[in-house]
Every structure is written in structure tokens, then in C-alpha cells.
A and B are shown apart, each in its own frame.
Chain A
Amino acid sequence: MATMSVLQQIITIAAVVAGTMVTRFLPFLVFPAGKETPKYVQYLGKVLPAAVFGLLVIYCLRNVNILGGSHAIPELISIAVVVVLHLWKRQMLLSIAGGTICYMLLVQLVF
């Protein structure tokens, strides 16, 4: 199937591992624990997560097609279920399980 030799495959995987590790370790190497982190970076560390969680929600939904298929209706209904459950009981596992079961029923039985 693959045209690469095993050594070439190992080198390719190692390149991907190295790239991933650079993105994970770089901030800690640039701003070591011993030195005080610049105020601007500390500010970013405080405000970035809220925006990142928004980005991650959209990232999960990136392949949903609003114009075709089921028009994102199962996703919107299930997210609404998650939001309502979480506002009501504020129990993480309940909100996630409720939304997921709702979504599975919708995509398997309805859409």
C-alpha cells in the first residue's frame, strides 16, 4: 500500500512529533518559570482561554453544512439541549450526556 520505506515512515512520523512538541513546549522555553513573564503575555494568558473555548466550539462544528444535508438542525437542537441542561442543573456530565444522546437519536433515527 504505502510507497515509503519503513525508515522513511519513521522519519515522517518523527517530523510530525517534533512539530507538535514545538507548538506545545515553545511558550515554556521562551518564558521560563525562573524569569518573570512579560505583562503583555500574562494579560494574554488571562484573556485568551475564553476566546480559545469559542474557537474550539466552532472547530468542532467546522464540517457542519448549513446549506445542505440536515442544515445543521441536529447540531443546533443538541447544543440547545446542552445549554438548557447546563443552565438548569449545572452538572457537566449530565449536560454532555444529555446533548450527546439527543444528537445520536437525531442523526440515527430522524435525519
Chain B
Amino acid sequence: MDFMGDRMTRNGVVIPAMKAAFPYTLPIFAGFWFLGLTYGMYMNVSGFSFLYPLFMSMLIYAGSMEFITVSLLLGAFNPLQAFLMTLMINARHLFYGISMLERFKGLGPKKVYLIYGMCDETFSINFSATIPPDIDRGWFMVWVTLLNQLYWVSGSTLGGLFGSVVRINTEGLDFSMTAMFVVIFMEQWMRDRNHTSSLLGLALSVVCLVVFGASNFIIPSMLTILVALTLLRGHLEGQGKVGLA
């Protein structure tokens, strides 16, 4: 294929994928700008230059962990503790990776970035979105990942720059994240014939939240979900009810 022809094909794949991906990322835009601005302002009032939220949101790119890193930076120097704490808080990413093992196969170098940028929201969209058959899957997922990261990095940097100036009543805008996960939960529910896993996820998380509290419930939730799904494997697989779209 000649150079021009190659360019045409690339444009013919990349741009439609962006147009298909963009609407899915709009709720993230609202949520990430709000949370990103909040995070940037928090760093600003904690005495850090905007370069900190800029590079931290670009490199760490895991929202809740970035908030915690602010307090780590203000405490005593202990990188091993920071590393282990990150493993604990971000352990849920292991589940995302396991769920995406098959879907990321054969995507070449794109796969590295898709894994690098797989935060809660990006995973949820890339896993649940109905990608039209004429749209390139790899590019669709790259755009979802890239757009989400751009929203987060720009929001947190702006918060870091203008944190002490901005005064708009955006209280409650972060609910767009909750609303999005509710919708994605419902979409999964409508696709599945058997709802055992959905119900287990809700119920076990609520029980662990009540027992272990808001800052410690994720790992116990993951472990109990893992144990329950493992024990139910014969039942869920045997009845052939695990079919996903």
C-alpha cells in the first residue's frame, strides 16, 4: 500500500472511532472535571505548584490514590509504605485486567496504553460499550482511554492553577460518576440471564462496607466476591448461564 493510501485508511479508521467513542465519555468529562478541579484545588491549598497535579494525574492516573498521595507527600518519607498502600487501594484493577485478558488480545502496541490507562471509568466503558461492527475496536478503546485521561489531566491542572480563584456552585456534579456506574450496572443486568454475580457484587460490598468501614472495605469485598464466585462456578457454568454479549 502506498503512503497516501495508508494515510487514508488510517484516517478512515481513527476518526470514526473517535466519533463513536466521544458520546460514551461525556459523563466522564463532567465527573472528571469536577473531581479533577477539586483535586487540583486541594493540592493548591496544600502548597503544591500546578506541576504536581499535572504530572501526578498524567503518571499515576488513579483518582482516589492521587488524593491519598497528597497526604503521603505531606508526611514522612516512606516510599515502601507508599508502594504497598497503592497495591492495596488499587487492587481492584486486578479484576479489570482479568476481565479484559481476552478482549485486549491482538491489539498490538495499543494494548500497552489501554492497560496503562485502565481506571475504573475507562474499564467500565470499554467493557460494557456496544461498539458498532464497522468501528475499529482497538481505536475505539484507545479514544475512550485517551479522552478520559485528557479530561482528568486538564481538570486537575486547571484546579492547581486557578484553585483559589474559581467560585462556581458545582456541588453535586460528582454524582455523574455514581449515575454512570448505576447505568452500567443496569446494562450488564439487562444483558445477563443470570443475575447472581450482579447481586453478589452489591450485597457483599454493602456487608463489607458496614463491617469494615468506608476506607477498608474494598479488599474484603473483592475477596468475598472471589470466594463466592469460585464456590458457585459449577452452578453458574454448569447451567450455561454465564453468556455475555
Contact = CB atoms under 8 A, between A and B. Distances in A.
Interface of A: 1-4, 8-9, 11-28, 31, 33, 37, 40-63, 74-75, 78-79, 82-83, 86-87, 92-93, 95-97, 99-100, 103-104, 106-108
The interface residues of chain A, by DSSP majority, are classed as helix
Contacts, number: 271
Contact of B115 (A24, A37, A52, A58): A24
Interface of B: 23-24, 26-27, 30, 46-48, 55-56, 59-62, 65, 69, 72-74, 76-80, 82-87, 90-102, 104-106, 111, 115-116, 118, 120, 124, 127-128, 169-173, 175-189, 192, 195, 197-206, 209, 214, 217-218, 221-222, 225-226, 229-230, 233, 236-237, 242, 244
Given A63-B214, A103-B175, A53 B124 contact: yes
Given A12-B77, A82-B182, 5 more contacts: A19-B87, A48-B225, A48-B229, A49-B197, A92-B180
B98 A44 contact: yes
Contact of A20 (B93, B95, B199, B200): B93
A49 B127 contact: yes
